[in-house]
Amino acid sequence: MTRLAKSKGVNLISITPKQVKEKEAHYKILPIEMEIESTYEDLGIFLGALDKLEKSLAIIDSFSVISEKERSLKLKTKLVINMYLVSGEYAE
Using DSSP, state whether 87 is helix, strand or coil.
Answer: coil
Query: E strand or H helix at 41, and its extent?
Result: helix 40-49
Provide φ and ψ at 9, rounded to 5°.
80, 20
Model-wide pTM > 0.75: yes
92: in domain: no
* pLDDT tens digits for range 25-56: 678 899 999 999 999 999 999 999 998 887 77
CATH code: domain of residue 55: 3.30.70.60
Q: Which is more confidently placed, 25 or 8?
A: 8
Q: Which domain holds residue 75?
A: 2-86
Q: Which is more confidently placed, 23 or 20?
A: 20
36: in domain: yes
